[in-house]
Amino acid sequence: MVTVKDKMTLIQSIFIDSKEKGLSITNHSELNKALLSNDGEFISIAYEAASMGIAINSIKNNNSLVIWNEFYQNYGLKHAVQIHVGLGWALSELNLDLNSYSNDFEPLLKYRVIDGFAYYDGKFKRRQAVRMQQIPENLDDLSIRAYNQGLGRSFWYIAQAEVEKLVRMINIFPEERHYDMWRGVGVAVAYVGGADSIILEELIQAASKHITAFKCGIAIATHTKEKANATSDTTQKICDVVFSLKTKDIYGKLTQLEKENTYFNWIKNIEAQL
């Protein structure tokens, strides 16, 4: 049986390989062909990692996102969320101010960049982001919420799908940051997949009063996977337990709500539906 940890190992392998390709293959057509050879369930992870590599090169060599944006427009629209998350990884690795490029982001995707930035912080700058609980300077309230979401997403990977360890990490932080962290956990749980009904019930109990945020995260990750044609049996099983709905129905509902032009208005409406 394939476990959550097995899927995390596969994701890590795809990410490392695809980031290297993004750094080394400058012909975007060739790069795209190489990315398409990856496991279909996690194809968007390949684009996320390549996006990180391309963004690093684009910023270092041109001090802009021109090259990154060319790849996004020509090959990455289907994986828009992961492409922007990967950009956030790059900005954090380069220790850049998120606001330096904020005018380049689409309204619905701006906060996904911050999510990716926070995920990198949670995983690779743990002393700063977790132990000292530092938040990047000059972030407004909504950006801080997106940052908390990205941290929560990283915690599911760091905890290696152990719910007790996950809860301990979240509880280190002040209560006002928990809600958005639980949405990030939901995103990670649905995107990775592999969680059986026992783990899901543990998560539902642990989320407690933040259950709406947790469910919202599962819904938006399902929407992302459906858009990229990357849903799997495990995605459906998670949606069966949490919503008793088909992944395509969740995608349809969230797509209808996507008329909102900002991320957190979209989130607000999703949570109202839940």
pLDDT in tens, 190-243: 999 999 999 999 999 999 999 999 999 999 999 999 999 999 999 999 999 999
The pLDDT of residue 25 is 98
Given the structure tokens 């900005």, which residue do they identify?
Answer: 91
**CB–CB of 122/151 below 8 Å?**
yes
Mean pLDDT of 68-87: 97
Q: Tell whether the model's pLDDT for residue 99 goes beyond 90.
A: no
pLDDT band at 102 (very low <50, low <70, confident <90, very high): confident
Q: How many CB atoms lie within 10 A of CB 266?
A: 21
Q: Tell whether the model's pLDDT for residue 103 goes beyond 80.
A: no
Q: Tell whether the model's pLDDT for residue 248 goes beyond 90.
A: yes
Residue 267 to residue 112: CA distance in whole angstroms: 12
- Of 250, 175, 256, 174, the C-alpha closest to 217 is 250
The pLDDT of residue 107 is 81
Tokens in use for 264?
Answer: 């957190």
260: burial class by Cβ within 10 Å (0-12, 13-18, 19+)?
A: middle
Helices (H), ranges, 63-131: 66-71, 80-93, 110-124, 126
**pTM score of the predicted model:** 0.96
- Of 212, 155, 165, the C-alpha closest to 189 is 155
Q: Tell whether the model's pLDDT for residue 148 goes beyond 90.
A: yes
pLDDT band at 261 (very low <50, low <70, confident <90, very high): confident
CA 151 vs. chain centroid, Å, equals 10
Q: What is the pLDDT of residues 39-73, one digit of tens each?
A: 999 999 999 999 999 999 999 999 999 999 999 99
The pLDDT of residue 274 is 81
Q: Tell whether the model's pLDDT for residue 104 goes beyond 80.
A: no
